[in-house]
């Protein structure tokens, strides 16, 4: 049973990291967008492993249902579509690898050398305490976030509409 | 296997891939995908730190706010890309080199 759990966990980890690699390196942008779907699902599965049930559900709802749909619309609206193969070349790949590799060495050295506290919290449903937390301790950030979403909604509509010169 | 170091390593890998996408991609939409990878890495880090340790839910609340910011940012960014495509007939980040037209 332990072995089976570990196999499933490793599967989700590999799904997340490999599909993120496809997002970065694939030549066709629509394949990147669909690989991002699997990355989001993998992260949602990792949230389940971390006993964050509400966050796993909202990850699927918001990222897959909202953001990924927006991104795919963005792909189709910003390209001349002749076939499904909308190319997107990577450039400066080898120069960019140098700072990323330096950053990676630093990050992984820090992660594997620090003495982390690995005591597990008990697994409980998180929706109710999270809701209480949002409406008591985090009330001001919560309201600010709702204002931010409203402003982003109106601003995006204003930006995306095409105005004639004299209308502006 | 199921300890904090594993999750931090996954999150660091996602973060590095996102940074690489932001640096190497030409299309603005792909750069946005890189930003989403970085935001996901940040959220995963917050949730991992809230699972291990003293057992508060503050990390999960922070991850929820990260999701809200990501949604708002994606909507505004795509509106900007549409305008860029209208002006320059392509949504490549190299083409966005004018401040005024």
**B79 touching A (Cβ < 8 Å):** yes
What is the per-residue pLDDT for A84?
A: 59
**B4 touching A (Cβ < 8 Å):** yes
The structural domains of chain A, with segments of one domain joined by +, span 1-86, 125-168
Q: Rounded distance, CA A66 to CA A146, Å?
A: 16
Q: Inform me whether the pLDDT recorded for A45 exceeds 70.
A: yes
The structural domains of chain B, with segments of one domain joined by +, span 4-92
What is the per-residue pLDDT for A74?
A: 87
Cβ proximity of A99 and B30 under 8 Å: no
What is the per-residue pLDDT for B73?
A: 92
What is the per-residue pLDDT for A143?
A: 95
The B residues from 44 to 63 touching A (CB cutoff 8 Å) are 44, 47-48, 50-55, 57-58, 60-61, 63
pTM for the predicted model, two decimal places: 0.90
Q: What is the largest CA-CA distance in chain B?
A: 56
Least trusted range by pLDDT, from A8-17, A78-87, B44-53: A78-87
Tell me which chain A residues have a C-beta less than 8 angstroms from the C-beta of B65. Answer: 138, 141, 145
Q: Rounded distance, CA A30 to CA A118, Å?
A: 39
Confidence of residue A41 (pLDDT cuts 50, 70, 90): very high
Give the number of A-B residue pairs with CB atoms closer than 8 Å.
228
A103: nearest CB among B16, B58, B72: B16
Q: Rounded distance, CA B15 to CA B48, Å?
A: 15
Q: Inform me whether the pLDDT recorded for A168 exceeds 60.
A: no
Structure token pair of residue A16: 């997340």
Q: Rounded distance, CA B76 to CA B88, Å?
A: 18
**A52 touching B (Cβ < 8 Å):** yes
| Cβ-defined contact of B33 to A33 (cutoff 8 Å) | yes
Angle between helices A68-77 and B28-51 (to 10 degrees): 170
Confidence of residue A82 (pLDDT cuts 50, 70, 90): low
The CATH number corresponding to A1-86 among 1.20.120.1200, 3.30.1280.10, 3.90.190.10, 3.90.320.10 equals: 1.20.120.1200
| Cβ-defined contact of A24 to B84 (cutoff 8 Å) | no
Tell me which chain B residues have a C-beta less than 8 angstroms from the C-beta of A26. Answer: none
Cβ proximity of A124 and A117 under 8 Å: no
Interface probe with A: pick from B3, B8, B50, B57, most Cβ of A within 10 Å: B57
What is the per-residue pLDDT for A39?
A: 95
What is the per-residue pLDDT for A167?
A: 56
Confidence of residue A109 (pLDDT cuts 50, 70, 90): very high
What is the per-residue pLDDT for A164?
A: 66
pLDDT digit string (tens) for A5-35? Answer: 889 999 999 999 999 999 998 888 888 999 9
Please give the class, per CATH, of domain B4-92.
Answer: mainly alpha
What is the per-residue pLDDT for A116?
A: 83
**B40 touching A (Cβ < 8 Å):** yes
Q: Rounded distance, CA A18 to CA A150, Å?
A: 35
Least trusted range by pLDDT, from A81-90, B20-29, B45-54, B60-69: A81-90
Q: Inform me whether the pLDDT recorded for A142 exceeds 80.
A: yes
pLDDT digit string (tens) for A92-101? Answer: 778 888 999 9
What is the per-residue pLDDT for A60?
A: 93
A71: nearest CB among B33, B53, B90: B33
- The partner residues of B27 in beta bridges, in order of sequence, read B92
What is the DSSP annotation of A36-63? HHHHHHHHHHHHHHTT-HHHHHHIIIII
What is the per-residue pLDDT for A85?
A: 63
Least trusted range by pLDDT, from A6-10, B52-56, B61-65: B52-56
């Amino acid at each position: 049973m332990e072995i089976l759990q570990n196999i499933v966990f490793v599967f989700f980890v590999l799904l997340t990291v490999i599909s993120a690699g496809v997002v970065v390196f694939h030549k066709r942008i629509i394949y990147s967008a669909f690989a991002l779907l699997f990355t989001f699902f993998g992260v949602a599965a990792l949230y389940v492993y971390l006993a964050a049930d509400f966050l796993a559900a909202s990850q699927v709802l918001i990222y897959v249902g909202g953001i990924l749909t927006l991104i795919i619309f963005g792909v189709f609206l910003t390209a001349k579509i002749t076939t499904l193969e909308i190319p997107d070349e990577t450039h400066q790949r080898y120069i960019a690898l140098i700072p990323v590799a330096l950053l990676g060495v630093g990050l992984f050295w820090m992660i594997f050398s620090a003495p982390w506290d690995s005591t597990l919290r008990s697994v409980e449903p998180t929706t109710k305490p999270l809701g209480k937390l949002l409406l008591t301790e985090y009330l001001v950030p919560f309201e600010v976030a709702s204002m931010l979403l409203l402003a982003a909604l109106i601003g995006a509509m204003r930006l995306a509409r095409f105005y004639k010169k004299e209308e502006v | 296997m199921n300890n904090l170091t594993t999750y931090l390593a996954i999150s660091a890998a996602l973060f590095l891939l996102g940074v690489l996408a932001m640096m190497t991609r030409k299309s603005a939409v792909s750069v946005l995908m890189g930003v989403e990878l970085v935001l996901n890495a940040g959220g995963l880090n917050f949730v991992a730190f809230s699972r291990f340790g003293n057992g508060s839910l503050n990390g999960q609340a922070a991850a929820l706010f990260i999701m809200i910011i990501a949604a708002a940012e994606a909507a505004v960014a795509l509106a900007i890309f549409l305008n860029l495509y209208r002006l320059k007939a392509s949504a490549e980040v190299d083409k966005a080199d004018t401040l005024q037209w």
